[in-house]
Structures are given as C-alpha cells and as structure tokens.
Amino acid sequence: MERLRRVASVWSWLPAFRAVAETQHLPTASTELDVSASALSRTIRLLETDLGRALFERQGRRIVLNEAGERLLVAVRDAMRRVHDGMSLMDTKALGGPIHIASANGVTDIVLARSLASLRERAPDLVPNVRATDETSFVPALLQGQLDVAFTSAPTAAPNLSRVHLGDVVSAVYAPTGHAALTARRKPTDGHPFVLWGQRNDGTTCDGWPGAAPRSVIAVVPQPHLAAKLALRMGALVVLPEALARPAVERGELELVRTKLVQPVPVYGFHRHSLLPGGRAETLIEIAASAVASGLK
C-alpha cells in the first residue's frame, strides 16, 4: 500500500509533466492542455518538490529535460499507454477507429498501399490516416502518441521504439520498349538519362541506385508512379520496384535493362513498444511484412 500511496501522491501531476517534457516549452504545453503557463509551472515545481529532485534544467527562459526527467518521461508514457490499452480492451471494437500512419518515401508508399487492402479485410473498423514524413521526424510523433506506425527505408536509431525489418523491396532499371540501353552489351546505363525519384535532402535516393555510381538525370519527381509515366514520355531510364513496373512490362511499355547496379531497398516499420498483444500497430506491421515477403503482389 505504501507504493500505491506514493504513486497516488503525484499521479494528478503527471499529464502536465508529460506535456511540458515533450514540448519543453511552457506556452506550447499550456495551449495543448488548455491551462495557464503559470499553473503548469506551479505543477512542475510541486512534482519536483515531492520527488526531491529537479526534472528540468532552467536555461534563461528555456526549460530542458534532464536525465532524471528523461527517465520519468519514459515511465509516464508507458503508464498512460497501459491505461489507454486497458480501456481499449473494454471495447468490443479494440481494432477500430483511426490508425495514424506515416510513410517516408515512394518505396514505403508502395508497401503501405499493398498493405491497406489486407488491413481492411483483417480489421474493417480501422480507418487509416496516412501522412508523409522524413526518415527521422516520425520518432517524436510516435513517442508522443501522434502516430501509431511509421514506415521508412532508413534504420533510424530509436531506442524507445520497436523497429521491425519488414524485408527488402527488389528494384531494377527499366527503359521504354526499343530504347538503345536494351541492346547495349556493356554498361547499358552509361550515357542514358534517368528520371529520378525519391531524392532525400542530402541528394541520395531511396530507389536502390548506389550513391557512388554516377548517372545522368533528365528530371526529378517525388513518386515512382510519376517517374514511370515520365520515363515513357521522355524516353528515359528509370529505377522502379519490380512490383510497380510489372503492369507496364506486361503491357509491353517497359523492358528490363540488364544491370546489377541496383540494390534491394530495406523497409522498416516503427511503433511504440508493445504492451498488449494484437494491437493495431502490430497488426499492420505483420500485414506489411507479409506484403514485402510476397513480392508486393
């Protein structure tokens, strides 16, 4: 009972602590909770006094979470998730309502697109809400509960999240039927322009083309579907996932260019650590892994 009384003494202050800890900005946290900044500041002081240690470093008008605060934030997040998941189990439609998903690039968009139909069959009461992200900014959104799952092709370091390698997406170079690269005997991609897609901020791409290998670029677009259409119109080469290129190949519009340069693209799914089995995040991760394993058919 002593442990219960100890936790109960600070329990009502923990939501305020979490909001301040995640924003590290009193005005922003006060807006989120619809309370005054002065009230939040007073709550944090009461919590720190009760615990007998500081949770933030004060740097002028800024507040920065310290090591003790970081440890408490992890515990508070887990505790609040356990309560939320326990409430969900009381609902007969635990796999219902919105599921918030982020996708980092064109490869993960394809994996997600192939997965959502199966998710609909498996959990028809779930409503996917999908948004774009870059390959690092999804981490705080997952930790704060704004996202349920994020898909990326970069093995981002996130010690407080679960990272699942879903498999590798196989890609290749394609050219419009009749293109000169299709009959070249050596280095067929040399001298022929590409339509490039999936370019990151650092200039690399997520299409599987090795960064050290040069290529001429005639256009840059955000998505592989658009790149495929533009390559046909401009008579250019394009790197595409095999699953995406397959319909155009079957229609006789694109042909495979024989080269071993393109590398498989890994796909990862990130979610918060599982507290209860069979949740929405775990269900989507399982479906996405099956989609990648099947070649995205």
pLDDT at 92: 45
DSSP state of 14: H
Q: Confidence band (pLDDT; 50, 70, 90) for 87?
A: low
What is the pTM (predicted TM-score) of this model?
0.73
Residue 30: CB atoms within 10 Å: 20
Question: Span 77-105, mean pLDDT?
Answer: 74
Question: Span 248-275, mean pLDDT?
Answer: 90
Calculate the CA dihedral of residues 158, 161, 165, 171 and round it to 10 degrees.
-60
Q: Confidence band (pLDDT; 50, 70, 90) for 275?
A: low
In this predicted model, which residue has the larger pLDDT, 214 or 211?
Answer: 214
Give the ranges where the chain is alpha helix by DSSP (H).
Answer: 2-11, 14-23, 26-33, 37-51, 67-89, 106-122, 138-143, 224-234, 242-250, 280-293
Q: Which residues contact 84 (CB under 8 A, 6 or more apart)?
A: none
CATH class, domain 2-89, is: mainly alpha
In this predicted model, which residue has the larger pLDDT, 222 or 203?
Answer: 222
User: What is the CATH superfamily name and number for domain 97-169+265-293?
Assistant: Periplasmic binding protein-like II (3.40.190.10)
Q: What share of the chain is helix, strand, coil (3-state, %, to 5)?
A: 40, 25, 35
Q: Confidence band (pLDDT; 50, 70, 90) for 53?
A: confident
Question: Span 134-149, mean pLDDT?
Answer: 87
Q: What is the mean pLDDT of the chain?
A: 87
Residue 13: CB atoms within 10 Å: 19
Q: Confidence band (pLDDT; 50, 70, 90) for 94?
A: low
pLDDT at 93: 53
pLDDT at 278: 65
Question: Span 189-209, mean pLDDT?
Answer: 87
pLDDT digits (tens, 9 = 90+) for 152-169: 998 888 888 899 999 999
Scanning the structure block, which residue is given the tokens 């394609």?
A: 174
- Residue 236 and residue 230 in contact, taking contact as beta carbons nearer than 8 Å: yes
CATH class, domain 171-256, is: alpha beta
Q: Where in the chain is the domain with CATH 3.40.190.10?
A: 97-169+265-293, 171-256
Q: Where in the chain is the domain with CATH 1.10.10.10?
A: 2-89
